[in-house]
Each structure stands twice: as C-alpha cells, then as structure tokens.
Chain A
Amino acid sequence: MPTAKPFSNEPLTDFTISKNRDEFSAALRRLDQQLIKGPLEAAPLVSGVVRSEGVKFERVDPSNAVTLVGRVTFSSSALADTAVQGLRYSLSSWESTPVATRAAALRKAAALMRERKHYLSAMLVREAGKSWREADGDVAEAIDFCDYYADEAERVLTVRQTMEVPGEDNVYFYQPRGVCAVIAPWNFPLAIACGMTVAALVCGNTVALKPAEQTSVIAYELVRILFEAGIPPTALAFLPGIGEEVGRTLVEHPLVDMVVFTGSKAVGLEIIRSCSEVRPGQANIKKVVAELGGKNAIIVDSDADLDEAIKGILASAFGFSGQKCSACSRVIAVGASYEPLMTRLQAAAADLIVGPASEPSTLIGPIIDQESQQRIIATIDRAEQEQRLLFRGSAPSEGYFAPPAIFRDVDIENSLWTEEVFGPVVACTQARDFSDALDLANRSKYALTGGVFSRSPQNLERARREFRVGNLYLNRGCTGALVCRQPFGGFRMSGVGSKAGGPDYLLQFLEPRTVTENMLRRGFAP
C-alpha cells in the first residue's frame, strides 16, 4: 500500500529563531513548576492497569543531584511474569489487527510527540541530563522511528508472489515473532525505547518494555502516548524495574519469543547466552537483537582541515558527555597533523561550556548518575597515572559531573585505548601514514562508527573500502545518525542485528512464511 508522502526526517528545532528558544524555555519552566509540587510518578502498566504497589525508586536531576524528578514504582518479577502471560494471550488479536491500523497508531504517536515536543525535551533535560540540542534530537529521532517504521511495515507486510509458475501459487509473507521483551538504555531514553518498541508493535508483536531505571519517567510518558495513539493496552506492558530482576525474568521467560536490547556489551552477551538455553514450556528459539558498545575512532589525515576536524571531534566526543555508543573515544592523527591538532584540541576543549543541562549554553552536561560519574572519574584518575594527559577540564561540584579529558600518545594496548569508557574521555595517538591509521582504527573489538577527516580523494576512497565499521562518516563527526538517512548499527562486539532506522530492521521482528498451493485439478488450472 503506497503511503501518502515519502518519509522525511523530523526537523531539529531551529534555535536561531528566538520564538523557538522562548518556547523551549517555557516548556522547561512548566516542567519545573510541576516538579516543585512533587516528582513525576511512573509505575508498571499491565493490561492498561497502573500497578502502584511495590518498591519505590527516586530519580534526581543529575545536573544538581537534588531536585527530585521521578518517583517510580518498580515492577516485581512476579508482575513481569503476569504481564508476559497477558501479552501472550492478547497476541492473536493484535496480530490480526490490520497493518494499516497498526501503522496509523504509530503515525498518531509521532503526531502527539511532535505536538508535545519541547515538553518531552524538557523531561529529557531534567531526567537524563541532556542539553537542549541533545534532548531535541532525541525527541526528533523518536518521531522519526514512528513515522519510518509505519511506512516500512506497510512496505514489508504485503503478501508477495515469489515466482509465476503455471498451475502453482507461491506466496511469501510474514507473521510476528510473538512476545517481545524490549530492554532499553538510558542514553537515548525516548528515541531508542520508542524505536525498539514501535518496531516490534507495528509488526504485530506484543511488547514488554523495561526501561532503564534512571529514565523510567520519560519511558512512562512514551507508553502513555502510545496508548493515546491507539496501541491497545493489552499489546504493551510497561515494566520499570531492576535489570537483574525484571530484565532477567523477561529474558528467561519461556513465553518471551524475542529480546531486543540496547546497552552494554557484558549484559548483551549474557542475554545472548541465556537466550540460547531452552526452558520448559518454551515454544520458539529466542531471537536476540542486541546493540552494544563502541570504541570509535576518528582519523585526521595529514591534509585535513583542522578547523573542521576539531569541531567534529569535540562534538562527537563530548556531546552528552560522551555517553553515546557512537561517541568518538579515539583520535588517530596522521604524521604532521598530530602536533598542531593536539595543541589546538587542548585549547579548544578548555573553552567548552560544562554546566547544568537546563542552561541553553551548556555543551557538556552531567553524567547519568553517581555510579557512572565515579567510575568515569576513577578511569580518568587511573589513566593519568599510566598515560600522558593532554587536557583535564573542570566540572561543577554539585551534580554528577565528570571532567572532559583528553590523553595523548596513548599506548594502544592500554585499556584507555581498547575499552569503552562511556564518558567524556578521548585517547589520541599518532599514525605514521594513512595505512597505519586505518590499521589502528580497525584494530578494535568493536565496529560501530568511525570518522575520517581528509582532503585526499584517494584516501577517502580507501576509507570507504577499508575502514570497517557500521557507520562511517567522511569529513564530519561520527555521531548523530538520522533515521532512514543513516541506518545505524555495528558489528563485531558492537552488536548483532541489523540497522535501526534502516530497511532491514523490521524483518528481525518477523517470521517469514511460504505457502504453496497446487492449482492443478483434473488437468486444468485457473
């Protein structure tokens, strides 16, 4: 079924227009006034019923570690079990809902988010510590996922003839996999939670969504928007809670057919291992889609435009304090570009504005929570002992801030070079030539994003072929993939599964079926 108009990305807010800045401010003020009265509540939703009994979790604004943003009721394992049984039961009715109806619900959800855009952004500012632009991008991406997967479902879920053969009818079509457990991360708490959930739903699966503990409130808002948009409460359960409890229950549940996960490599690999075990009462071999980490490198060629390279590196390394799987955490500069790059990068990093996420001028906001903050600071402290520090910034003492840090001449065997920090930390080294740079970049257990700044047509061409990552960016930073325009995802230890926001993504949520009918009866066929 053709859709009315081709997909286009939700525009980011043009903050050069003062009206837009004012509206964003106003949304933030509105949320803050609400928070004065008390934190936002979130609780499990099973078959549309709010389950407010259970352990409470309090979420504070990471920018000040004081303001209570959310009070979340955590789901128990028993409730998760009940929810999965309900989702199994309601599968057939959701599956038999016409694709057009399911897709319409997604488009409606996109429209609702577009209407409440700045308010949702404000929630991201307060709950996740996202700067204005980062929050705005998160919401825009969530909208894109809804619109794009709605189009995709209508494209993919049509019954096709395989081949024209006389006297034989061959059709190929898809059915949903069943009950999907979606385990979402806190770093794109709206966009990724939304993308994984609506992809599963639009294909006819029922979904148990477990958000990250830190960002349950925005996820709760997402679920309510989906209900408002027409997703039946029986098709989607919301189960905030502890990963070790609720997450584990879902992953191990025999009635869960698919697990969709975005998060750390350790947890992802554990999910894959666990899902390979067949448990009593389990009908299907579980499918796992896991999008994990990255240790992404930007190569700066000897002929690179350093103005552009520095701009790209800073944005990719320090945007959302480096807490993106796509973030740049390694810089490889070729030959003579290394020293001038180090000098200018050091000076440039020193002037970046670190501060509370609610301030529009903030470029580097807080870390997601105290545990991560302390882990990042400890990593920087340790690295300072072992490696050569180029720059260590300062950060506000209130709130969960970590200083941005850059190290130079980093030993490529050192964990600073090999392990994902998931914070504002960059390791730099010099390469002899472009071949050496490609080799250094590729020598990683991850293969998610990468960047190259070069003005040599030949080297750019080589990078296309030889820089093996899921998303390669030439002459720009390596974060900020857009739905449909830059389908996103990596390989090696960066994940299994195909690219979010790309043409193959929905296929993972579907089982293909083939039906052949012999049309020949008594010697004649229609």
Chain B
Amino acid sequence: METVVQRRISEIVTKRDAGWKIIILLLTLILIFILSFALGRYPVPPGQLLEVLAARVLPLEPTWNATVETVIFQVRLPRIFAAILVGAALSTAGAAYQGMFKNPLVSPDILGASAGAGFGAALGIYFSFSMLGIQLMAFVGGLLAVGLTYGISIRIRHDPMLALVLSGIMIGSLFTAAISCIKYIADPYDKLPAITFWLMGSLASITPRDVYMVLIPILLGGILLYLLRWRLNVLAMGEEEARVLGIYTTLMKTIVIVCCTLMTAASVSISGLIGWVGLVIPHLARMIVGPNYRVLLPASILLGGAYLLLVDDLARLLASMEIPLGILTALIGVPFFLYLLLNSKWGWK
C-alpha cells in the first residue's frame, strides 16, 4: 500500500518537475526578451516598451517621440524575433536529428543543409541579386543539398542511417568546395567580403519582412515535429525497433528530414551560418529535463530561442562594432560543449 502511495507521489513530482522546468525556461526567455530592448545603443526601458506595445491596441496618448517607435518596431523587435526563431529552429532540428540518428553528436547541418544554403547565398551575392534574391537562393540551396543527399542515400544498399550520414558529409563537402570556388572567382574588393561576412552569420540587417518570410517554413517544420515528438522517442531506440513497435519508419524519417531541412534552410537564409546552437542546446536541454522528447522538444525550443537572443545581444554590445554572430556562437559554444564533456552528467551514454 505504502509503495503504491510512494509511487503516486514520485510520479506527480517528476511530472510537475518537468512542467516547472518548462515554465522557468519560458520565464527566462521572456526576461531576456525584455532585457534585449533595454540594452543597446538606443535603450528602451521596460516601462516605456510596455506603453508603446499597449498603444498598439489601446488608445494611449503618446508620451514618447517617434524614434522610439521606429526603434522598437522596425529595428529591435524584428531582430529579437529573428534571434528567437533561428535559435529555436536550429535547436529543434538538432534535437530531432540527434534522436533519429541515435547520435548525440549530430547537428542540423549533418545532411548538408547549411553548406547548400551557403552556396546558394554565395551564388546570389556573386550575381548581385537583391537581398530577397540572395535569401531565396540560400533557402533553395539548402533544400537542394538535402534533396541530393537523400536521393543518393536511398540508392546505397547499406545500413540506411549510415548511408544518409555518409552522403550528407559528401554533399556538404561538395557544396563547401563550391563556395570556395565562388569566393575564388568573386571580385575581391566588393563581392568576396560580402560573401565572407554572410557566411559568418549575423542578424544585424534583419527587416520585418525577413521575419515574416521565414515564419512559414519554420512554423511548418516546428509544429509537425512538435506533434510527432512522442514518436521521436521511439525512433531514438533504433530503426528496426521503431518499426517493430509500430512506426512506419520510412515515412517518419522522411518527415523528420523535411521538417529539419525547412527549419534549417529558412534560418540560414536570413541569418547566415550559425554553428553550435543546434548541437549544444539539445544537450543542455537534455541535462535539464531528460531525454523524453515530450519535454525535451519544448525545452529545446525555449532554450534555443533564449540562448541565441542572449548571444545576439552580446554581438550588439560587446564591442563598438557588431561581432558576427557565427563567430560568437562558436566562441561561446565550443568552451561550453567542452565543459559539458568534462562534466559527468551528460544526459546521454
């Protein structure tokens, strides 16, 4: 009798525990969100921010000058939303791939999405396309690279997961070489620096339109993965076991790849190459809430959004000049990952 009661209690505690952790992560994200307005070359204090936001729905007398509104709605809000979206998308894709490949060292660019997007963008810059053109090229490039990887892998008669990873590495290298090729022939005074800066990743020139554009693919991929998150657990037990437990793995794998690619390619198309987020954040989330995707996925979304927003704030504030985001995520991500490796609580075996 006692054991039954004890079990009930522990069940409730563990469940509540995960719920609380998610709420704390959400509050952290909101805190960084508000903080991000208050920091920068044109700080907006929380009180004023609330007034300006409230004025959108309530008939308030403006006590602030027009510049504040421009800063909030044209500059800071799009950038903050972009940072949260990109961070959340890369972390979700990374978490999903790590389960699907049964490997905690996998990141969202494993199938060549980033390299393909980089190639598309470089090509767009080379041909002097508009910003929109470059972004579309990057998005299509990412989809194309993963499409090639997938198409090749299903023709390899071997362990399908191994085939997928191998062809992903090949296609990734191929597109990386193609990027170098474009850089080599690009105008060294004009185009080459533009390509190089794009590849370093940045959210400095985000416009509201960019955010609207990537919202659709990121939400599409994210919502589908979120709905399928219980099945990601089963897929992490291995393909054969997942099939025996009743999952049509061929379809499930394809859905995961399509979702992750949509999210990664869309992110890279507006932010450039931002590494380490998709690898490190799922680990951190796993250390906090455990490996069950029911809570791991929401935790990755919140943590990824909060992390990239914080790093982007640092990119704005650390120096008098903007630091490229991709450099900063690596500079912070690598030591952090090493710390995780040295720490005994890995969240994976």
The answer to whether A binds B is no
Give B residues with C-beta under 8 Å from A.
none
Give A residues with C-beta under 8 Å from B.
none
